[in-house]
Amino acid sequence: MRITMIGTGYVGLVSGACFADFGHDVICVDKDAAKIDALHAGIMPIYEPGLKELVATNVKGGRLSFTTDLTEGVAGADAVFIAVGTPSRRGDGHADLTYVYAATREIAAALTKPAVVITKSTVPVGTGDEVERIIREVAPDAKAWVVSNPEFLREGAAIEDFKRPDRVVVGTEDPEATAIMEAVYRPLYLNRSALMFTGRRTAELIKYAANAFLATKITFINEIADLCEVVGADVKDVSRGIGLDNRIGSKFLHAGPGYGGSCFPKDTLALLKTAEDHEVPVRIVEAVVQVNDSRKRAMGRKVLRAMGEGDHRGKRVGVLGLTFKPDTDDMRDAPSLALIQALQDAGVSVRAYDPEGVEQAAKMLTGVEFVADAYAAAADADALVIVTEWNAFRALDLQRIAGAMQAPVLVDLRNIYHRRDVEAAGLHYHGIGRG
């Protein structure tokens, strides 16, 4: 099939490359000429394991191409995916649909044959209705079906998630649109149970509900971790004990410094605004947002307490990990941002290392010294903090770390080390929820 992907950000580029790998003819469109030029040169705009190789393979095979010309990209397409950004709108937290609607108008004007127009971007309930209205307004004679097909890709594992999904949600009740979407996802038919067809508005809400629920699990275990520290329990064992219940499951029950990234913060906020507009209280989600926001800065105070009482001005902290999770360069709403700000507000200087996120972090942080590895971050530090659980931090030479530091304090915000191993190396250990 001929597939057009509008947007070459995280969702659009990964989805386009995977569709091409399925054997479809895919063209990705983006207005950013510099980004398209870079893609033609084999340079990825994001870090995602395996993506560079996947793109190169399918470009070489003639199944994947890139252009800035939307009219050229849409002409002759069977399916046009809208995968543009929907950031939180300044001032009120609603999802900003400016890019979605602008893309819709251009798509409608460029259609040359019957096609499915699919919102892949995360959008509030009812967005598909407005997309359909715009198409009818711009091109009243065009035959187009509007479908919702939200993405559920985890950064760092996006290619695997796309090719072996838990589910593919398709929001349409039109038989012709259903047939086209079945053809688009035919390579997944060995995993047919993954395909779930439902109403368009239902599909739009599924994405927000899923992310809000996962954010709730993270926030719940973080609050339990705080209780564990006070009563002398171990949150890792608590997590395992409740996660073994198959009604609960073990995923997203790892205590830490709070959730971040491109999805959970903006999607929970957008869900709150949608509920508010319809006068439906969602107090659990509201509490999740508030608790998570306050937790990130509280992690800075935790590090300060680990260094002891008194004035911390002039002290130095090494930070390991800046991105919101490993295997990505995404710094959006990363816990490290609030943590570092809290340290700097206390007069502490920060030296930081991240395997992939330094370039993005440098655009968002000031006064931070970025270094080449974990040991450089530890040098002469009064505390070393693990913020992101990159594999590179899981087997550090702890004795070397202790010897390099001004004061041997390790604050493990991801609980990747055992206290006995850290203390055996001569370091004072502070974990999350480990009383």
248-291 confidence digits (pLDDT tens):
999 999 999 999 998 999 999 999 999 999 999 999 999 999 99
Contact between 321 and 389 under an 8 Å Cβ cutoff? The reply is: yes
What is the tally of structural domains in the chain?
Answer: 2
In a domain, 204, yes or no: no
Q: Sign of the CA dihedral 395, 399, 402, 405?
A: negative
In a domain, 274, yes or no: yes
Mean pLDDT (whole number) for 372-396: 97
In a domain, 203, yes or no: no
Domain that holds residue 146: 2-198
In a shared domain, residues 324 and 390? yes
In a shared domain, residues 218 and 359? yes
DSSP secondary structure string, 211-222? HHHHHHHHHHHH
Which among 48, 68, 45, 64 is positioned nearest to 56, based on CA atoms?
64
List the catalytic residue out of 18, 28, 228, 263.
Answer: 263
Pairing mode, strands 409-412 and 368-370: unpaired
Model confidence at 194: pLDDT above 90 = no
In a domain, 208, yes or no: no
Model confidence at 305: pLDDT above 80 = yes
In a shared domain, residues 178 and 235? no
The torsion angles phi and psi of 292, rounded to 5 degrees, stand at -65, -40
Model confidence at 151: pLDDT above 80 = yes
In a shared domain, residues 184 and 242? no
Which among 201, 218, 367 is positioned nearest to 285, based on CA atoms?
218
Mean pLDDT (whole number) for 17-29: 98
358: domain CATH number is: 3.40.50.720
Give how far Cα 385 sits from Cα of 53, 85, 180, 297, 352, Å: 33, 32, 50, 14, 9
Alpha-carbon span 81 to 315, nearest angstrom = 51
Q: How confident is the model at residue 89 (pLDDT cuts 50, 70, 90)?
A: confident
Alpha-carbon span 407 to 396, nearest angstrom = 17
In a domain, 207, yes or no: no
Give how far Cα 112 sits from Cα of 5, 204, 251, 273, Å: 16, 27, 45, 37
In a shared domain, residues 189 and 247? no
Look up 228 and say whether it is catalytic.
no
In a shared domain, residues 217 and 194? no
Contact between 402 and 421 under an 8 Å Cβ cutoff? The reply is: no
**Among 149, 173, 198, which residue terminates a domain?**
198
In a shared domain, residues 342 and 398? yes
In a domain, 292, yes or no: yes
In a shared domain, residues 140 and 14? yes
User: Residue 43 has what DSSP assignment?
Assistant: -
In a shared domain, residues 221 and 286? yes
In a domain, 113, yes or no: yes
In a domain, 416, yes or no: yes
In a shared domain, residues 246 and 365? yes
In a shared domain, residues 185 and 149? yes
In a shared domain, residues 186 and 225? no
N-terminal to C-terminal alpha carbon distance within the chain = 57
**Among 172, 198, 224, which residue terminates a domain?**
198
